[in-house]
Structures are given as C-alpha cells and as structure tokens.
Amino acid sequence: MNKCAGLKWVAIVGGAAALTVAIFAATPRSAVAIPQYSAQSKLACGACHTNPSGGRALTNRGKKFQANGHKL
C-alpha cells in the first residue's frame, strides 16, 4: 500500500469515527427516573415524569426540579 492510499484509509476511518460520535452525541436520551428523588420529595414519579412510572419525558414540574439541582 502506498503512502497516499494509507492516508485516504486513515481519513475515511477517522471520518467514520467522527460521524459515529456526532450521531451518538446528538441523539436525545430519555430521562431516567431515580427512586431516591421520589423518596426525597415524597412525590410519586408521575409528579415529575409524563409516564406515571417515571423514566420518560419530564413535566414542567420535573424540568423545574431538574433545573434547581434536584431540590424542591
């Protein structure tokens, strides 16, 4: 393999790796319900999550709780 072909291969692999990282970084992740927050706040998971069992998108109350450092 000549030097030019080797550099093209490195560029292709590097570009693919960069694209993979960018895709994972841009992919939205769902909220994770943590039972300790429910115990701390004395509220059910559904008070902060759109799904009553928790672990889904946050309600406005949940977003405020998150923005306030997980404190009421």
pLDDT digits (tens, 9 = 90+) for 27-43: 766 555 578 888 888 88
Residue predicted with more confidence, 30 or 22 = 22
> What pLDDT does residue 19 have?
78
- Domain shared by 37 and 21, yes or no: no
In a shared domain, residues 44 and 58: yes
In tens, the pLDDT along 44-53 reads: 888 899 988 8
Residues 22 and 47 in one domain: no
For range 51-58, the mean pLDDT? 83
Other beta carbons within 10 Å of 33: 19
Q: 65: which residues sit within 8 A by CB, 6+ positions away?
A: 37, 41, 48, 58, 71, 72
Are 61 and 38 part of one and the same domain? Answer: yes
Asked whether residue 26 falls in the same domain as residue 47, the answer is no
Answer yes or no: do 50 and 70 share one domain.
yes
Tally DSSP H helices, then E strands, for the chain.
3, 0
Number of domains into which the chain is organized: 2
Q: Is 7 in the same domain as 37?
A: no
**Domain limits at 8?**
1-30
pLDDT given for residue 31 in this prediction:
54
The answer, yes or no, to whether residue 1 has pLDDT greater than 60, is: no
